[in-house]
Amino acid sequence: MAQKKMILDLDTGIDDALALAYAIADPAVDLIGIISSYGNTLVETAGKNSLKLLELLGQTDVPVFLGESHSSTTDHFDVMEISQLIHGKNGIGEVELPTANRALETQSGVDFLIEAAHKYQDDLILIPTGPMTNLDAAIAKDPSIAELIGNITFMGGALTVPGNVTPFTEANINQDAEAADRVFRSPAKMTMIGLDVTLRTLLTKNETNQWRQLDTKAGKAFADIVDFYIDAYYNLDIDKNGCALHDPLAVGVAINPAFVTTLALNMKVTHDGADYGRTIGDTDRLHDKRINMQAAVGVDDVAYLAYFMQLLTDLFKKN
């Protein structure tokens, strides 16, 4: 068993599926649970997708917990049409996987996170790949966990490039900018893996074809799922060269920070006006000696992609 314990907070769409596979495949960490979120799909659909993928990959011992179903400022959540076009209506590229034998846990994801933070403390890695709602709710319920969790590496935000929802705002932060702002201003130690670096990590059908040629259930399923994503990127003119490895890059950096270069900066999230959801330096904390955010601004995409492919190909060979 690896000393470092990992919790994924996933709104399980396609790049979340790749993040899940990466976390399973890397021997440096022990995946102890998944908390579901909303975003690419509804929270319950995300949870069921995670269970299906875990079963496909032979990891039925990993529990999946339901997190919050909507943002801290609304009373419901509707999946955006663009999310369905990118991830499919079922969240995983319209690929039909068998219903998992394991059920969703009855304990809430927020309570699971709080328990894990106290149990593992500095050895706990948390990877939010959707909105910050679950982490914000956990800190509100037990503020001590903000300083207990050793490593929070999240996919979200944009510092040096435009957003993908508005000229300022990235999609995950846009889902609940108020929650993100509270987390950013908390004592939690964080690394931001934003569009600044994820857009530079592209996967193509050359790679998915390698998985398909393995002739395994997992290899074929993931090839089909990611090909849907690549086609969506092409058809929606997001990128004609391939799909970005948004969420799995966050997992990779949490385990091996050398994949990226970062800027140490206290940050905030705006949540009013035309720049709603903008991730930017916090002028009120410019002189604070304690800096809690490392914002990734550069990535060794060649080294990352090579390791990503090695890990996932070896995993898919076995399943």
| The total number of residues written for the chain in this structure | 319
Task: Report the Cα 181 to chain-centroid distance in Å.
Answer: 18
The pLDDT of residue 317: 93
Averaged over 118-139, what is the pLDDT?
A: 97
Q: What is the distance between the alpha carbons of residues 64 and 288, in angstroms, rounded to a whole number?
A: 38
Per residue in 32-67, pLDDT tens?
A: 999 999 999 999 999 999 999 999 999 999 999 999
Tell me how far apart the alpha carbons of residues 66 and 76 are, in angstroms, rounded to a whole number: 15
pLDDT of residue 186: 96
Supply the pLDDT for residue 198: 97
Domain 4-317 fold: Inosine-uridine Nucleoside N-ribohydrolase; Chain A (3.90.245)
- Which of 126-135, 243-252, 282-291 is least confident? 282-291
Which whole number is the average pLDDT over 232-248?
93
Assess whether pLDDT exceeds 90 at residue 189: yes
- Counting Cα atoms < 13 Å in the Cβ hemisphere of 230 gives 17
Residues 263-316: tens digit of each pLDDT: 999 999 999 888 999 999 999 998 898 999 999 999 999 999 999 999 999 999
Q: What is the 3-state secondary structure (H, E, C) of the chain?
A: CCCEEEEEEECCCHHHHHHHHHHHHCCCEEEEEEEECCCCCCHHHHHHHHHHHHHHCCCCCCCEEECCCCCCCCCCCCCCHHHHHHHCCCCCCCCCCCCCCCCCCCCCHHHHHHHHHHHHHHHEEEEECCCCHHHHHHHHHCCCHHHHCCEEEEECCCCCCCCCCCCCECHHHHHCHHHHHHHHCCCCCEEEECHHHHCCCEECHHHHHHHHCCCCHHHHHHHHHHHHHHHHHHHCCCCCCCEECHHHHHHHHHHCHHHEEEEECCEEECCCCCCCCEEEECHHHCCCCCCCEEEEEEECHHHHHHHHHHHHHHHHHCC
pLDDT of residue 99: 93
Domain boundaries, the chain: 4-317
Q: How confident is the model at residue 121 (pLDDT cuts 50, 70, 90)?
A: very high
pLDDT at 245: 96
Report the pLDDT value the prediction gives residue 178, as an integer from 0 to 100: 96
pLDDT digit string, tens, across residues 65-85: 999 999 989 989 988 888 999
- The whole-number pLDDT of residue 75 equals 87
